[in-house]
Amino acid sequence: MAEADAKITGSIDVLVDYKKGGLTLAQAVDRFRKLTGLTPDVAEKFIRGMSRDNIISLETKRNIHAGKQEETDDRTG
């Protein structure tokens, strides 16, 4: 099996780290563009198009908290 190019694996690592929240957008864009040779604008557009796994909607968080509060109220009353 052919060995993967270090720049390709490095680029994938940058994208995975960004997706998991380990890198900021600026860090990911800088590293990704250096590895791929893309311009900063193109690298940023590519990365911005990705979803992130560490993003939690504040509205969802409020609803979860409200649901837990109702459960606590039901137990005491």
Angle between helix axes 25-36 and 40-48 (nearest 10 degrees) is 120
pLDDT digits (tens, 9 = 90+) for 25-72: 999 999 999 999 999 999 999 999 988 876 777 776 667 767 766 665
Instruction: Specify the DSSP element, H or E, that contains 29.
Output: helix 25-36
Q: Phi then psi for 51, rounded to 5 degrees?
A: -85, 160
Q: Is the pTM of this model over 0.75?
A: no
Distances (CA, A) of 70 to 47, 60, 77: 40, 15, 11
Residue pair 52/19 in contact (Cβ under 8 Å)? The answer is yes
Asked whether residue 3 carries a pLDDT value surpassing 50, the answer given is: yes
Q: Phi then psi for 55, rounded to 5 degrees?
A: -95, 130
